[in-house]
């Protein structure tokens, strides 16, 4: 009953001052629009940049590293136990890069409920031989289909068909940078030499472009069989097992488990790419800070307009109080004015923010470094819209709080007698 009356009075006051109200609402709309636009764009860029790494990196990589033995023989001698043993000039042990018993490990991983996919890989350093020049490079022997499923390998093959790698024997997909250096075109044969001195002719079936120049200059892909042939090893030889998990956050914990379980090195993505998390975090922080600053400025606008309205409406407030409206009622009237500016402006802001986001989404963004991206990336996460509307309501509430309190404390006697 009373709520309806208070609403009526608020609306009438709003309508009577509709120009100022509109300016205040536009302030809120503008800040929410920018908030949504900015966060969507920033978050989109974050996603893109993270994707550069995360989509192409295993959540956990199992491999063997060349390193000194963890337990030195002196530690096993009974007499020297309980001492600190200083050993100088330790050399890494002669470890093969092959993962032992890889078939069994893969089988067991496939049964693990945390794992969403597995791709085995052979990584080996090679020389690309062009005439008398030798370029250093790295060949990744991959399971083409698994690699494509897990890391969308297809997207980064800019020329040629990725599946040829599997279908054409002794084929190679060259990094774009390496191909440019060697002037190798599709269909050409190039010669590679392994560190052990094995030589092999490989047929170029495509170019690969990751967006990271340093990688494209060096890396190339062959099928896992070709790599095994190149190295002259048996067909169960692999050097890496790449694991994709269902939940990326569990990677560090699971890496520890796998290290123990399979007796190999296990590197999780968080440890390997700590700088990306930091970058994303800072960028998000900046966008929130800018968005919230905009809203606070809008809040001051509302504060000013309500203050002016209260000065103008002093008489009306006095008479309302004289005819039986309590301070609380007057307070509610002005708070509801502030809130309706906030909600109306905020909702419009969400709409415009969505519009702005879609507009940014249409702007062409072509860069040779990112072959799959055609327009600016935008994130339409509903979270931003939720935060935007909540924040606009909270800000306008506080902007309305102090003027409303002032209005509720107006003494009608002073106003009425002052005339």
- By CB under 8 A, name the binding residues for other proteins: 1-2, 5, 9, 12-13, 15-16, 315-316, 318-329, 411-413, 416-417, 419
Torsion over CA: 32, 38, 41, 43 (sign): negative
Query: Which stretches of 131-237 are assigned E, i.e. beta strand?
Result: 133-142, 157-160, 171-175, 189-194, 199-208, 219-223
Q: Could you tell me the smallest distance in angstroms from the CB atom of residue 340 to other proteins?
A: 15
Q: Could you tell me the smallest distance in angstroms from the CB atom of residue 1 to other proteins?
A: 5
Residues in CB range of 89: below 8 A, 6 or more apart: none
The Cα–Cα gap between 334 and 47 comes to 42
Q: Could you tell me the smallest distance in angstroms from the CB atom of residue 6 to other proteins?
A: 9
Residue 111 is encoded by which pair of tokens? Answer: 């049964």
Degrees, nearest 5: CA angle 403-407-409: 120
252 or 412: CB nearest other proteins: 412
How far CA 359 is from CA of 28, 119, 250, 355, in Å, comes to 20, 38, 36, 6
DSSP string, 53-72: HHTTS-SEEEE------SS-
187 or 418: CB nearest other proteins: 418
The residue among 388, 398, 410 whose CA lies nearest residue 302 is 398
Degrees, nearest 5: CA angle 224-94-138: 35
Q: Could you tell me the smallest distance in angstroms from the CB atom of residue 334 to other proteins?
A: 14
16 or 369: CB nearest other proteins: 16
319 or 373: CB nearest other proteins: 319
The Cα–Cα gap between 107 and 113 comes to 12
14 or 25: CB nearest other proteins: 14
322 or 394: CB nearest other proteins: 322
Residues in CB range of 47: below 8 A, 6 or more apart: 377, 379
109 or 320: CB nearest other proteins: 320
* Residue carrying the six token digits 């809040």: 299
51 or 412: CB nearest other proteins: 412
The CB density around residue 17, as the number of other CB atoms within 10 Å, is 19
The Cα–Cα gap between 304 and 154 comes to 57
Structure letter (DSSP) for residue 375: B
223 or 408: CB nearest other proteins: 408
Q: Could you tell me the smallest distance in angstroms from the CB atom of residue 402 to other proteins?
A: 19
Q: Could you tell me the smallest distance in angstroms from the CB atom of residue 47 to other proteins?
A: 50
244 or 321: CB nearest other proteins: 321
Q: Does residue 144 contact residue 195 with C-beta atoms inside 8 Å?
A: no
The Cα–Cα gap between 210 and 218 comes to 11
Q: Could you tell me the smallest distance in angstroms from the CB atom of residue 18 to other proteins?
A: 11
Q: Could you tell me the smallest distance in angstroms from the CB atom of residue 316 to other proteins?
A: 5
The Cα–Cα gap between 166 and 206 comes to 12
Q: Could you tell me the smallest distance in angstroms from the CB atom of residue 409 to other proteins?
A: 10
The Cα–Cα gap between 124 and 9 comes to 78
Q: Could you tell me the smallest distance in angstroms from the CB atom of residue 416 to other proteins?
A: 6
């Amino acid at each position: 009953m009373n709520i309806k009356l208070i609403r009526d009075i608020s609306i009438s006051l709003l309508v009577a001052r509709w120009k100022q109200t509109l300016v205040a609402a536009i302030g809120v709309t503008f800040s929410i629009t920018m908030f949504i636009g900015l966060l969507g764009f920033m978050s989109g860029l974050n996603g893109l940049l993270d994707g550069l790494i995360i989509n192409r990196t295993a959540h956990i990589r199992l491999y063997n590293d060349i390193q000194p033995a963890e337990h030195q023989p002196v530690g096993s001698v009974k007499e020297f136990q309980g001492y600190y043993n200083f050993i100088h000039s330790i050399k890494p042990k002669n470890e093969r890069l092959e993962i032992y018993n890889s078939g069994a490990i893969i089988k067991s991983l496939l049964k693990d409920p945390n794992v969403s996919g597995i791709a085995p890989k052979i990584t080996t350093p090679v020389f690309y031989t062009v005439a008398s020049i030798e370029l250093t490079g790295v060949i990744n022997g991959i399971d083409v289909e698994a690699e494509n499923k897990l890391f969308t390998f297809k997207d980064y093959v800019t020329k040629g068909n990725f599946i040829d790698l599997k279908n054409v024997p002794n084929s190679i997909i060259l990094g774009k940078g390496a191909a440019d250096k060697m002037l190798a075109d599709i269909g050409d044969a190039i010669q590679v030499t392994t560190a052990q001195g094995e030589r092999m002719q490989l047929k170029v079936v495509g170019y690969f472009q990751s967006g990271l120049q340093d990688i494209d200059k060096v890396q190339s892909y062959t099928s896992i069989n070709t790599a095994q042939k190149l190295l002259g090893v048996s067909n169960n030889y692999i050097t890496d097992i790449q694991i994709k998990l269902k939940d990326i956050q569990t990677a560090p914990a699971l890496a520890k488990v796998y290290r123990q379980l399979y007796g190999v090195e296990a590197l999780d993505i968080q440890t390997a790419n700590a700088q990306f998390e930091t970058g994303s975090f800072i960028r998000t922080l900046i966008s929130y800070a800018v968005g919230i600053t905009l809203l606070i400025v809008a809040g001051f606008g509302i504060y000013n307009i309500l203050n002016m309205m209260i000065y103008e409406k002093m008489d009306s407030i006095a008479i309302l109080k004289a005819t039986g409206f309590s301070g609380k009622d007057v307070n509610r009237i002005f708070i509801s004015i502030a809130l309706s500016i906030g909600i109306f402006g905020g909702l419009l802001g969400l709409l415009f923010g969505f519009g702005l986001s879609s507009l940014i989404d249409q702007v062409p963004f072509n860069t040779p470094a990112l072959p799959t991206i055609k327009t600016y990336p935008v994130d339409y996460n509903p979270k931003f819209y939720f935060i935007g509307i909540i924040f606009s309501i909270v800000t306008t509430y506080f902007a309305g709080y102090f003027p409303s309190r002032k209005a509720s404390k107006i003494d009608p006697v002073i106003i009425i007698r002052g005339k």
